[in-house]
Structure 1
Amino acid sequence: MTSIAKQIGTNWFTVVMGVGIMGGLTYTSPLTFPFDKQIGMIAFIAGTILLVVALGLWTSRWIMHTQEALQDFSDPTRALFYGALAMAVNVIGNDFFLVGTHMIPYSMALHLSQGLWIAGVFISLFSVITIPYLMFTQHDISSEDAVGSWLIPVVPPIVAAADGANILPFWGSKSLDMGMTAFDISLFGMTFFLFIMVSALFYTRLMYHKIVPGHLAPSIWIEIGPIGMAMGTLATIPLTAHTFLPTFIPGLRAVGLIGATALWGVGVWWSIIATLYSIMHLSKRGEGIPYSLGWWSYVFPLGSFTAGTYALYHLTDLKLFFIAAFIQLLVLAGCFVVVALGTLKGIVDGTLLAWHPHHHKGIREVKAS
């Protein structure tokens, strides 16, 4: 157990993110299909268990291997994944609202969702402040090093905003609900503008430097994650804030409609670019895409974009987004199965997690980036 705990960095929370968002999206799919609720519940339970196990092992790492845990902050790659810890907490918290309220007593699930949301916000703020500061002042990086993974530490506040938008009417009083709405919008703004800045750096790197190597190709998909969460925030607030902000709802609906639809267009464009990039690396021209935990970038970002499409459909009731949401869910399910099986295989054969003493010898370190 000690040897396993030593290997559990924050990159493992990407698994929790992927399983968690799959549960929520399956359970709330606009188009119902056989066993959708059951699959959603199973994924929600699995995600919750994975979060508890990952938090336990990660905490043990801090207690028993403090020096290694501290060294994560000095590594330009490992430090980024503190954002994954924040997002994992928020995703499971959101699942307690979307799925858990139908499985356990409603008030218990709601309070758990709110508690996890608050915890996720604190970790999100730690990530979005601490990691960029370290990148500015301590990490040895250049413009050619820019990758989609640079978004990971700055994305959590907008994930918290999108998830928080669902529970805005449940804080107990009109004034508190209004205050939470203002705070939620500020979280959205914090990430949205940082997302634009980081995306500009990544776009520049793609334009002026050599092709992103195969092992980093999955990170290109991360771009559509914050796009989806931004869509979710803009489209959901008009639907959940109508009871305590009635005079603002027409304006919020207009902003949500225009903003989320425009972002959906950008997300579709980036999805096509990322797909072409992946195909290129799988062709003779590319380097291949070796399996790593980075493959979860094919799951959570696409899940975020799908969640944004769900929200846009609920706001507009347009068949376009109804159909698009289901198609995205099908693609996501395919990616999820492939990536989850790859992770299980990597744990068993020791390429991702050396769980047997004899596995440690000669096992190569696989970076999740």
Structure 2
Amino acid sequence: MTSIAKQIGTNWFTVVMGVGIMGGLTYTSPMAFPDHDQIGILAFLLGSLLLVVALILWTTRWIMHTQDALHDFLDPTRALFYGALAMAVNVIGNDFFLVGTHIFPREMAIHISQGLWLAGVFVSLFSVIAIPYLMFTQHEIAPEDAVGSWLIPVVPPIVAAADGANILPYWGNKGLDMGMTAFDLTLFGMTFFLFLMISALFYMRLMYHRVVPGHLAPSVWIEIGPIGMAMGTLATIPLTAHAFLPSFIPGLRSIGLIGATALWGTGVWWSIIATLYSLMHLSKRGEGIPYSLGWWSYVFPLGSFTAGTYALYHLTDLKLFFIAAFVQLLVLAGCFVIVSLGTLKGIMDGTLLAWRPHHHHRGVREAKTS
């Protein structure tokens, strides 16, 4: 087990994120389809199990291989994925509200959702403070190194805000509900403006520097993740805060309608750009896109954008967003199947996780011949 745990960095939590958001979106699909609720429940339970397993292995790594775990903070790539840990906790916490309340005792599921949300917020704040600080002071980074992955450590607060918007009415009293709403909007603002700054750096890199290489092409999709979560926050708060902020609801609905719709247009544009980028690398002009855990960037960001479209539909009741939400879910399901099969194959053959003796021996042989 320790040899496996040594290999479990925070990047493995991207799998939990993808499975978790697939469960919640499938279960709550605006357009019902055969067995969608059973599929959603299965994905929710699998995501919850994967979170527990990943946390156990990751904690074991810290205990048994402390130096390796500490070294992650000095690596400009691995450090970014502390954001994945935070988002994985928040996604499963949100699933306990969306799905768990229908299969477990409701009050218990809500309490678990709240507990996981608080834990996710704590890790989110650690990620959004510690990792950028290390990037500012310790990591050697050039302007042409900017990639979509730079968003990973700063996105968690807005994921927490979008998920937290669902549970705003359940904190126990009006004063606490109002306080949590203010805190939720603070989390939203914390990420949203960092998202704008990092997006500008990434846009400049795309304009003025070399093409993002094939193995990083999936990271281009990360941009639509915070867009979707921002849509979800803006569109959900007017629906969940009406009981304790009645005088603010008309204004919040207007802000949600205008803001979320405008962001949806941006997300559609970026989705087209990201698709063209991937197709370019799959064509003769590109380098190909070798499989890695980075392929989960085809799942969670698109899932986040789909969740934002769900929220916009619930706010507006417009057929446009009803149809768009279902189309996005179908595309997401296709991506999910492809990426999941790739991960299973990589685990079985040892290319992602060496868990059999011959996996390690093959790795040594490859290292000697490379």
Q: TM-score, normalised by structure 2?
A: 0.98
Equivalent residues in 2 for 1:102-181, closer than 5 Å:
102-181=102-181
- Matched residues in 2 for 1:118 and 1:161: separation? 11
1:288-336 superposed Cα distances (whole Å, 9 cap, x missing partner) = 0000000000000000000000000000000000000000000000000
Cα offset, 1:357, TM superposition: 2.1
C-alpha distance in 1 between matches for 2:77 and 2:239: 38
Instruction: Specify the alignment match of 2:322 in structure 1.
Output: 322
Q: Distance in 2 between matches of 1:356 and 1:72?
A: 24
1:208 is matched with 208
1:360 is matched with 360
Q: Which letter does structure 2 place at the counterpart of 1:131?
A: I
Structure 2: 5+ residue stretches without partners: none
* Superposed displacement of residue 362, structure 1: 3.5
Distance 1:248 1:5 in 2: 49
Give the partner amino acid of 1:267. G
Matched residues in 1 for 2:35 and 2:256: separation? 32
CA distance in 2, matches of 1:360, 1:285: 35
1:73: which partner in 2? 73
Which letter does structure 2 place at the counterpart of 1:259?
G
Per-residue Cα deviation, 1:63-97 (whole angstroms, up to 9, x for no partner):
00000000000000000000000000000000000
Give the partner amino acid of 1:204.
M
The equivalent of 2:337 in structure 1 is 337
Q: Matches of 1:37 and 1:252 in 2, distance apart?
A: 31
Give me the whole-angstrom Cα distance separating, in 2, the residues matched to 1:228 and 1:194.
15
Counterpart mapping for 1:1-369 below 5 A: 1-363=1-363
Q: Find the aligned partners of 2:363 and 2:213 in 1 and give their Cα distance.
A: 22
Matches of 2:73 and 2:244 in 1, distance apart?
Answer: 42
Aligned length: 365
Residue identity over aligned pairs, in percent, reads 85
Distance apart, 1:360 and its partner CA: 1.2
- Taking structure 1 as the reference length, the TM-score comes to 0.98
CA apart distance, 1:361: 2.5
Q: In structure 2, how many angstroms separate the alpha carbons of the residues matched to 1:265 and 1:273?
A: 13
1:82-141 CA deviation, whole Å, 9 max, x = no partner?
000000000000000000000010011000000000000000000000000000000011
1: distance between equivalents of 2:215 and 2:172? 48
- Which sections of structure 1, spanning at least 5 residues, go unmatched? none
Superposed CA RMSD in Å reads 0.8
Partner secondary structure for residue 288 of structure 1: coil
Give the match's secondary structure for 1:260: helix
- What stretches of structure 1 move > 4 A for 4+ residues in a row? none
1:249-275 C-alpha deviation (Å, 9 max, x unpaired): 000000000000000000000000000
CA distance in 1: counterparts of 2:288 and 2:253, whole angstroms: 44
Q: Distance in 1 between matches of 2:361 and 2:215?
A: 23
